Amino acid sequence: MKAHFTKKTFHFKRPSGTSRGVLTKKHAWFIELWEESNPEIIGVGECSIIPGLSPDFSDFETYEAKIAETCSNLDIDLSNWPSIKFGLETALLDLKNGGRGIIFPNDFTAGTKSIPINGLIWMGEPAFMQEQIEEKLKQGFKTIKLKIGAIDFDSEIELLKSIRDRYSKDEITLRVDANGAFSPDEALNKLQRLSELDIHSIEQPIKQGQFEEMKKLCSETPLDIALDEEMIGVNRTEDKIELLDFIQPQYIILKPSLHGGIEGTKEWISLAEESNIPWWITSALESNVGLNAICQLTAEYSNDLPQGLGTGSLYTDNIPSNLQVKKGTISLADGE
């Protein structure tokens, strides 16, 4: 089997604010695999990183060297390189299924299954966030997720209140993602204020690694907490079990590029279900190549919770795809 990789930089349609700063572009690497005897069939997988968040990215030179090493030795241990592992896993499955972008042959790839998703609202000035909210509501989204923690908390509360004044929790489900922006001392008070607005859940209210504080928060919270960054870098099965047993979160959120690739994500799901912890999957700003693979992985499970897969329209120069978002769901426009 032969392999090589290429790099592509994607550009956001408009700067996207997070608690880690404003994003204007996104780097990704694509692994391509083929058999020498049949070079026209190529499997493609995306290695996607978010600087400051991806545990396997420190600098471009080191990262690209690891991808090159992977292309030279497909049996390499990628336990600590989840984004590269996800890219390789995807490329191998794509090649196995004929190099047509089919990673998991299922109802989603057959075009008969759509997946409910949340509409993502990026951080920014209140007027910009309000504009995004109106757009998502017009598009038919019933679940909206707001990134919070980058602007004044009172302003964020007012934004959420303005939605609640118009739509009850039965009409619109609201999720928020703090990306670890709250301090442990202030978190419980802020969660109380959020809970008064019938918020569904909050992702990662405090920074990961504060296990005692997170355990306490999950036990006392008036608002369901979903772990996200907390699980990054936790790769051994026994460590995953220990984390879930100790913190006992209300939900977990999985990103294959951050949480151990396809294999690691499947294990997290299995362990969470054994502990009766609900979960959902989100993309980590992948292009349509990675997003397509994550949608197909998600469709392998029966999960009615809205997933975080609505990031395909972020870029001016995304790779063409027949993924389509309609009325708060994502599907393949023409099946295979």
Positions annotated as catalytic residues are: 147, 255
Residue 245: phi and psi, rounded to 5, are: -65, -35
Name the token pair of 7: 């790099």
Q: 272, 225, 270: which is closest to 250 by C-alpha?
A: 225
Distance CA 288, CA 318 (A): 7
Contacts of residue 317, defined as CB under 8 A and 6 or more positions apart, other chains included, come to 10, 11
The answer for residues whose C-beta is within 8 angstroms of residue 177's C-beta and 6 or more apart is 145, 146, 147, 148, 202, 203, 204, 228
Which amino acid is located at 106 in the chain? Answer: N
For residues 283 and 294, the answer to whether their CB atoms sit within 8 Å is: yes
Alpha-carbon span 6 to 33, nearest angstrom: 12
d(CA 265, CA 281): 9
